[in-house]
Structure 1
Amino acid sequence: MTVSPFRLGIGLGRHAALLPTTLFALIPFIWMVSLSVKPPNEIFGSPFALIPQHWDAYENYSKALSTAPLARFMVNGAIVCFAILALQILFCAPCAYALAKLKFPGRNLLLALVLVGLLLPHQVLALPLFILCYKLGILNTYAALILPFIISPFGIFLFRQSFKSIPDDIVQAARLDGLSELAIVWRIMVPMALPATIAFSIFSVVAHWNDLFWPSIVIKSKDLMPPSLGAAAFRSVEAGSDFGPLMAGAVLIILPLLLAFVLAQRWFIEGLASSSLK
């Protein structure tokens, strides 16, 4: 099959535009990996070079694992992220189904409120949420890291868009078979919206794995710190920051997210595409 010169030119132009953007986005990550294998005297040395003259990879990574309980921080992050994700799907999927497939008074108003929730950054709600956690007595616990995020306007909107693309005939057939509305959600809608579920899962896990703002407010115990907050253990007020182990720790913290995205990227892209059809 021959490709016309016009389409070939469009393809080359698209790649020519995307390649510099991709490289620009990767520069911080490449720089971080470079610093994680350098000795201290080369980190701020001149001239700057990505490839170190002397490799300190073993020293930096071993220090990253020994200076702070990095494994504990990552376990905390996994507990918090997966608890948040499970509760978000538990609440968001039925809400999205109601907005997508059920007709009731005030549906459009509720959808508008969900869209307003998308516009509000979480930092705006930090003070009332902190007071709520204080009143409930859950500060410095896993609950303080989990409960404020169990309702996700983005999750409701993403699932709604995906459910809208599922034909109404399937829902009607399920009702004729005697399935309840909740059974339709969990046995039909969510399995059929698996790409959207995977896409939302990646968004949710990445957002809360990397969150530093909220954990720094509600968590004081080192045993409960998630990875982003635990990385601050490499910072010393008297001696400054130990950048080699700090960057090594950052690489180890980011690595699970990178692997998860590489393994799930096909479903991630498919989920975003299917959710934008309606």
Structure 2
Amino acid sequence: MRILSRAAVIVAICGAVAVSLFPFYWMVRTSVAPADETFSQGISWVPTRIDLSGYGRAWTSGELGRAMVVGLVQTLGILALQLVTCVPAAYVLAKVRNRATGVALTLVLGGLLVPSQVTLIPLFVGVNVLGIADSISGLILPFCTSTFGIYLIRQQIMSIPDALLDAARADGLGHVRRLTSVVIPIAAPGIAAFSVFSVFAHWNEYLWPLLAVRSAELRTPPLALAAFQQADVGYDYPALTAGAVIVTAPIVVLFLLAQRQFVHGMSGTEITE
């Protein structure tokens, strides 16, 4: 009975994985298939021949190379600013206890309840007033901090024993040294998990760049892919899916490389060898 139960669980997991990965497989399969097979009768699970010309059309006509550079600068710029602001704030909210930190934590938790779409119009008005609309600064600065990042990293820092920080304080370490020498190394899994979240969110962000960017030179990967789809491409689905593969590949590689840190960060445990 136990063997049958385990076999049923394995079958269910394999079925869920297959259903989850099928859209990615079909995207890759369509990107390397000849264009005349897209609307052929019946379903061919494997293309009759490999045709990589769609990738060339997507890269040149869709200007994905420039968009990838813009997306990289935007994503890494936002991540750097968020780490600089979120990590110290999370440390203060976790380990500096007074009435002010309690009020600040309440504001952070309240910020988690506000959908990001609600703030788009005020942000759009703000960047236009500051004169940074249609610029790389306008893509980065509105996201210089994150209430989700503060809360997630705070939960990781909360697991650090107070006795360890008291010992560091007894050795003469101030708040800055305690943060950089003790807290950040121990809370690294949580920081890594948030970094993966941040990169995922802002690499795939479509709505804010659509509002803030007017120049073709500042199109992010989702904007460039949408513009390529709306251009005179016709039914060139191999090129469209090839562009989707190009835009998706960096995120998939990043997750595979950071999977271990991500899992440990979300579970609140330390990474052990």
Asked if Structure 1 and Structure 2 have the same fold, meaning a TM-score greater than 0.5 normalized by the shorter chain, the answer is yes
For residues 208 and 86 of structure 1, what CA distance do their matches in structure 2 show? 12
- In structure 1, distance between residues paired with 2:233 and 2:83: 44
Cα distance, 1:163–1:241 mapped onto 2, change above 3 Å:
farther
Aligned to 1:134: 128
For 2:186 and 2:110, how far apart are their aligned partners in 1?
Answer: 27
Q: What is the root-mean-square deviation in Å for CA atoms of aligned residues?
A: 2.0
SS of 1:88's equivalent? Answer: helix
Instruction: Mark the CA change 1:11 to 1:204 in structure 2 (over 3 Å): closer, same or farther.
Output: farther
Q: 1:152 to 1:10 in 2, by over 3 A?
A: farther
Inter-CA distance 21–186: structure 2 relative to 1 (3 Å threshold): same
* Contact 1:158 1:275 survives alignment (8 Å): no
CA drift of 1:144 comes to 1.0
Letter in 2 for 1:103: R
3-state SS of 1:103 partner: coil
- Deviation string 1:223-242 (CA, Å, 9 cap, x unpaired) is 11111111123224555453
Q: Flag structure 1 segments of 5+ consecutive residues without an equivalent.
A: none
SS for the counterpart of 1:127 is helix
Equivalent of residue 17 in structure 2, options 2, 16, 22: 22
Paired residue for 1:193? Answer: 187
Which among 147, 150, 154 is matched to residue 160 of structure 1?
Answer: 154
How far off is 1:186 after superposition?
A: 2.1
Is 1:88–2:75 an aligned residue pair?
Answer: no
Superposition pairs of residues 37-56 of structure 1, within 5 angstroms: 37-56=32-51
Which residue is 2:239 aligned to?
245
State the match for 1:171 in structure 2: 165
Query: What is the rounded CA distance, in whole Å, between the counterparts of 1:121 and 1:247 in structure 2?
Result: 30
Partners of 1:15 and 1:106 in 2: CA distance: 51
Q: CA deviation at 1:50?
A: 2.8
Which residues in structure 2 correspond to 1:65-80 (within 5 Å)?
65-80=59-74
Distance 2:59 2:173 in 1: 51
Q: TM-score, normalised by structure 1?
A: 0.90
* Equivalences, count: 270
1:172–1:132 distance in 2 versus 1, CA, 3 Å = same
TM normalised by structure 2 equals 0.92
Indicate yes or no: 2:64 matched with 1:64. Answer: no
